[in-house]
A and B are shown apart, each in its own frame.
Chain A
């Protein structure tokens, strides 16, 4: 018998790019992250053909979830058509033979940086968020082993203290993204650089959210129907960006998160940040039979 006969036939890469042992490890970490909502599970971040810091954490999780019938959407700053989003989506198509989509409704896996789609996600969909910095305590504790102890003790007084001092100094809370939020009443997470607008979409959602930081090698999760509460004082309500009365200049749609486009005359125009949501509105206006899904926000207000 020759050694050659024992080895598998040569292939350019394994299905889903990562080898099976890497996927198995990541699946185990994901299961643990789901079992302990908000707890940061360390994992061995693998090399993928992308630089760390460009969403390698999200990429590895998505690769692990791929199957040939998966329908994958990739968002970068709300847009499906940015270079980064396109090339990641195409990569999933090449290494997983998956169906690529821009439509939130159709997708089974949505990998995103900076935004959560405006259309509500369902229980059969998984949201994968790319996370640059998973540690909400980093601002108050530079020693990560101490930070882990603080999570163990649920010692979050200093995170509250930062919000207290922002209110004292500025009269309002200055935390715009990565707004610290308590998951399942136990672990505080940094919900990645999504705006405050989107943090509320994580609360008691139907879908599973997996957050993954490739450089920092941490996976954490918000399982379906789990409480996610931004840290707020009883007498100072949580405020989302005031986009509720802004109108998208392309679609005439009002009440969703907008990109601000500064104009030469000093004014600003607004367009829907969720680009494919905008595309659907335009197609519908042109008479195409487009189905726009139920949205988290209605008339600019979170729908609860």
Chain B
């Protein structure tokens, strides 16, 4: 039996976890995205269930960030569909939304944390302002409430609120990620997208940020998609794992299963390199 067949067999025999019995929160089907000749993502399906953390792992250039940008509606694939289980929007392929609707949907229902804080934050503005802007875009217009919600969101990200009116420029990398996180969760998004959120941070700082993510996930049951090239990060966080290589999904399954019993040669290589 080849590795792939075995993987399929294993999936069938495993009982799906309780969470997976619910309707999916995020469904992508047949996603392909090319940049010229580069097939960044080829025919990928993604399903994420409410309250779970899907980890996407793979070497650099395997298409993880591109996939996440499509989930954030920043980019449109050449093929494929995308649905989020939002009340009244379940049946709408989000790639068919116009620019205006995309912006508003993204502001209201999707949170994202980038590896590079410059992509997610306005460095010259205050930390609380960065969070407030998100609420402002969503149409909140009460100053006292904006202030309070920004404070709460920063607090939930375990950011020291006494520094809420400093600028991200004055912060360490770990703190900047907490501001991005606060901004991303400010409107309680349907799905929180994390693209290498701790890559480039000191190991000890990285552990603290992951701690925060775990706590948030436990307290609020936020549905997350976490992208990382670091198997350690994925192992700490993910309920289920998708392994990508050259724009394709080579293996997916429950985290324990992937780590203890990797089927695909590439995954085995990754896991063994890590251990």
Q: Which chain A residues have a beta carbon within 8 Å of chain B's beta carbons? A: 153-155, 157-158, 160-161, 164-165, 167-169, 232-236
Contact = CB atoms under 8 A, between A and B. Distances in A.
A233 B142 CA distance: 5
Contact of B136 (A160, A169, A236): A160
A280 B132 CA distance: 49
Interface stretch (B13-21, B80-88, B120-128, B185-193): B120-128
B125 A165 contact: yes
A236 B143 contact: yes
A161 B150 CA distance: 12
A143 B145 CA distance: 32
Given A164-B133, A233-B143, 7 more contacts: A153-B99, A157-B133, A160-B136, A161-B136, A164-B146, A233-B146, A235-B143
A168 B130 CA distance: 13
Most interface-central of B122, B126, B146 (chain A CB within 10 A): B146
B186 to A, nearest CB: 12
Contacts of A154: 100
Nearest to B137: A157
B165 interface: yes
B128 A233 contact: no
A161 B129 contact: yes
Contacts of B147: 168
B69 interface: no
B103 interface: yes
B122 A235 contact: no
Nearest to A169: B165
Nearest to A149: B99
B270 to A, nearest CB: 40
19 contacts: A153-B103, A155-B103, A155-B137, A157-B136, A157-B137, A158-B122, A160-B136, A161-B122, A161-B125, A164-B132, A164-B136, A168-B129, A168-B147, A168-B165, A169-B165, A232-B141, A233-B143, A235-B143, A236-B143
A164 B143 contact: yes
Contacts, number: 49
A169 B103 CA distance: 29
Nearest to A153: B103
Contact of B133 (A161, A167, A235): A161
B97 to A, nearest CB: 13
B144 interface: yes
A236 B147 CA distance: 13
A165 B167 CA distance: 11
A173 to B, nearest CB: 10
A233 B133 CA distance: 13
A170 to B, nearest CB: 12
Contacts of B134: 157
B111 to A, nearest CB: 15
Contacts of B145: 235
Contacts of A158: 122, 133
Nearest to A167: B143
B142 A234 contact: yes
B129 A234 contact: no
Nearest to B147: A168
B101 to A, nearest CB: 11
Nearest to A164: B132
Given A153-B103, A235-B142, A168 B128 contact: yes
